Amino acid sequence: MSDVRVIIQRDSEREERVVTTGTTAAELFAGERSIIAARVNGELKDLSYEVQDGETVEGVEISSEDGLNILRHSTAHVMAQAVQELFPEAKLGIGPPVRDGFYYDFDVEKPFTPEDLKAIEKKMQEIQKRGQRFSRRVVTDEAAREELADEPYKLELIGLKGSASHDDGADVEVGAGELTIYDNIDPKTGEVAWKDLCRGPHLPTTRNIPAFKLMRNAAAYWRGSEKNPMLQRIYGTAWPSKEELKAHLEFLAEAEKRDHRKLGGELDLFSIPEQIGSGLAVFHPKGGIIRRVMEDYSRRRHEEEGYEFVYTPHATKGKLFETSGHLDWYADGMYPPMQLDDGVDYYLKPMNCPMHNLIFDARGRSYRELPLRLFEFGTVYRYEKSGVVHGLTRARGFTQDDAHIYCTREQMSEELDKTLTFVLNLLRDYGLTDFYLELSTKDPEKFVGSDEAWEEATETLRQVAEKQGLPLVPDPGGAAFYGPKISVQTKDAIGRTWQMSTIQLDFNLPERFDLEYTGPDGSKQRPVMIHRALFGSIERFFAVLLEHYAGAFPAWLAPVQAIGIPIGDAHVDYLEKFAAAARKQGLRVEVDSSSDRMQKKIRNAQKQKVPFMVIAGDEDMANGAVSFRYRDGSQENGIPVDEAIAKIAKVVEERAQV
């Protein structure tokens, strides 16, 4: 046997090792149980891969991002095998790993029941204990079609070789290179227990799956298209240890308690009536109060920052979106046109920027007017697919706190700096404090403008971001075709990351709309255009805050800031006078004068997450005082009425949490 020289990469250390021909990656990392795959010259491989001379090999740990994807993809295979052992008529769709888990789509006669999921999970545990080996083999297109003749969806995927999409999960099955099938080999008999079309890589055996659980099932269109058959999708999760699985399930339980859709109903904040349509919310009075407070505070802060307020209509002639390019690039995300005025197409607007450009262009502009900052609470409509619509966070109609800044190239850096500082401070005012920034840069295959302009703009954004002293994460190739952007990512109270604000440079629209201003020398010049939305949308930000606070908003946002709870009927009028005095100070105070007993009134106030419960009895009335009960059950007694009102007002003014 001849020798093979390989380099083993461990973080920044490189070890050269001489091994014999036929040595596998598994042998290179023998004894390192956390390594479940290998990266060879940058490409992921099974541990059964035989290393070649000159290759650089790096172990992939199960807890790494790649390792988790491999673990979850392998678990998806085990689930699919279990389904076909229990339901032999089931046809296989696609089974990719996704964030925190995996899914697999099946064509079956009727939806899976909760009892079915329990049976499938039990069967998976049996397969896991068998220690079946994942074995890769290369097949020709013809051989794959012959082997998988009874799997119509796999046959379709074979035809996609070289053009499979990541968006619908097809690229986990077929890619641009050779076709491969993974066999699950029974260790006792050596026979193939099950097989699937797949690119891999996979775990060495099913015993390498430490912990998993099936979560739910749902209907899903084949490859995400509503034109395709409806399949049944089973979701699951898998983790490197039972402890991590337990922690994840506890996290999900907490997230479910905070689900804005659930809280929106419980707290009577909003609803999405079926009679109106998917993704189109109505805000109830209490939700309307929160939204108005959010908008009023944002409006005031924008005035302080020098923004000018504009208003634009909800619909426009299609010609405007031809000019902007939305009909070329974004037509699938728009509502279909309405034909009016002798066949003229009108569209609900998906974005506000084209109309703001018309305001800029309504008259001649001088450099002395720049920067011009146009702001609007603009309601837009986007026809999201039904499968991705999700409460207020992914809606079809929503209102953006949308602004467009027109400035000179010399003003660009300062405007970006001011805007990012404004964004972060505004989010902090709402109680979000844990941020990082993401810089999306040019896709070399899809961009407009010169390389020089992109480089200048990207470097300016980078410098502006770095000045904030926050972590900056690169997003290579993630920019839209018309310019680089900074995204503000924030973590909520339970550690989930949300993309909030975006600051986007645009080289495209000023050209398309032929926007100009007169420079100091009298020449016509093109303005720099900056898009920015601080909340993203009012609805989405509302949902994020609702989940962040689990409905227990700080007093300045709470729809009811204090509620009077009389110990008996004799104390109702006293608390009504307290409430009237508090309302004169601009506070939102109610009195529970219902026939319920005091303890039930307290429970009701706790369920409604009211910041201050103002309790009064005989002693309080005699002393001109009240008692406070807080959401955590603590109490403060004998507070003089004027002092109590002043304390609530101070908490509201300081935007403090109680």
For residue 191, the model assigns a pLDDT of 96
Question: Residue 590 domain-assigned?
Answer: yes
Same domain, 375 and 487: yes
Same domain, 523 and 481: yes
Domain that holds residue 143: 65-255
Cβ atoms of 185 and 137 closer than 8 Å: no
Question: Residue 303 domain-assigned?
Answer: yes
Show Cβ contacts of residue 265 under 8 Å, excluding neighbours closer than 6 positions: 271
For residue 86, the model assigns a pLDDT of 98
Task: In whole angstroms, give the CA distance from residue 257 to residue 255.
Answer: 5
Same domain, 219 and 328: no
Same domain, 244 and 192: yes
Same domain, 421 and 480: yes
Q: What is the CATH number of the domain that holds 570?
A: 3.40.50.800
Computed over every residue of the chain, the mean pLDDT equals 94
* DSSP bridge partners of 103: 235
Question: Residue 555 domain-assigned?
Answer: no
Q: How far is CA 174 from CA 76, 114, 159, 546, in A?
A: 16, 32, 9, 41
Question: Residue 556 domain-assigned?
Answer: no
Same domain, 297 and 413: yes
Task: In whole angstroms, give the CA distance from residue 126 to residue 123.
Answer: 5
For residue 226, the model assigns a pLDDT of 82
For the stretch 455-498, pLDDT in tens is 988 999 999 999 999 999 999 999 888 889 999 999 999 999 99
Using alpha carbons, select from 608, 638, 536 the residue that is nearest to residue 284: 608
Region 648-654: mean pLDDT is 96
For the stretch 252-292, pLDDT in tens is 999 999 999 999 999 999 999 999 999 999 999 999 999 99
Q: What is the CATH number of the domain that holds 33?
A: 3.10.20.30
For residue 326, the model assigns a pLDDT of 87
The residue assigned the tokens 């005031």 is: 300
Show Cβ contacts of residue 560 under 8 Å, excluding neighbours closer than 6 positions: 286, 588, 589, 590, 608, 610
Tokens coding 43: 């490409």
For the stretch 136-180, pLDDT in tens is 999 999 999 999 999 999 999 998 865 555 555 566 667 667 899
The residue assigned the tokens 């390019």 is: 325
pLDDT of residue 567 exceeding 80, the answer is yes
For residue 385, the model assigns a pLDDT of 84
Cβ atoms of 359 and 374 closer than 8 Å: yes
Count: domains in the chain: 5
What is the chain's percent helix, strand, coil content, to nearest 5? 35, 30, 35
For residue 169, the model assigns a pLDDT of 58
Per-residue DSSP letter, 624: T
Task: In whole angstroms, give the CA distance from residue 183 to residue 194.
Answer: 6
Residue 548 sits at φ, ψ, to 5 deg, of: -60, -45
Same domain, 632 and 504: no
The residue assigned the tokens 């606070």 is: 549
For residue 162, the model assigns a pLDDT of 54
Same domain, 242 and 180: yes
pLDDT of residue 332 exceeding 90, the answer is no
Region 505-515: mean pLDDT is 91
Q: What is the CATH number of the domain that holds 75?
A: 3.30.980.10
Using alpha carbons, select from 394, 320, 393, 329 the residue that is nearest to residue 357: 320
Residues that are catalytic: 353, 382, 400, 402, 404, 485, 531
Identify the band that residue 450 occupies on the pLDDT scale cut at 50, 70 and 90.
Answer: confident
For residue 433, the model assigns a pLDDT of 93
494-499 own/partner pairs: CB under 8 Å, 24+ apart: 494/251, 494/254, 494/255, 494/258, 495/251, 496/255, 496/547, 498/544, 499/438, 499/536
Same domain, 502 and 356: yes
Please report the beta strands in 222-313, taking only residues with DSSP state E, as ranges in sequence order: 230-239, 270-271, 282-283, 308-309
Among 548, 580, 595, give the residue marking a domain's end.
Answer: 548
Identify the band that residue 1 occupies on the pLDDT scale cut at 50, 70 and 90.
Answer: low
Same domain, 324 and 447: no
Largest CA distance in the chain: 100
Among 61, 95, 110, give the residue marking a domain's end.
Answer: 61
For residue 2, the model assigns a pLDDT of 76
Per-residue DSSP letter, 646: H
Q: What is the CATH number of the domain that holds 505?
A: 3.30.930.10
Question: Residue 658 domain-assigned?
Answer: no
For residue 492, the model assigns a pLDDT of 92
Same domain, 364 and 344: no
Task: In whole angstroms, give the CA distance from residue 328 to residue 350.
Answer: 13
Length of the chain, please?
658
Cβ atoms of 180 and 136 closer than 8 Å: yes
For residue 172, the model assigns a pLDDT of 65
Same domain, 305 and 379: yes
For residue 92, the model assigns a pLDDT of 98
Among 326, 348, 370, give the residue marking a domain's end.
Answer: 348
For residue 508, the model assigns a pLDDT of 85
**Residue type at 385 in one-letter notation:** K
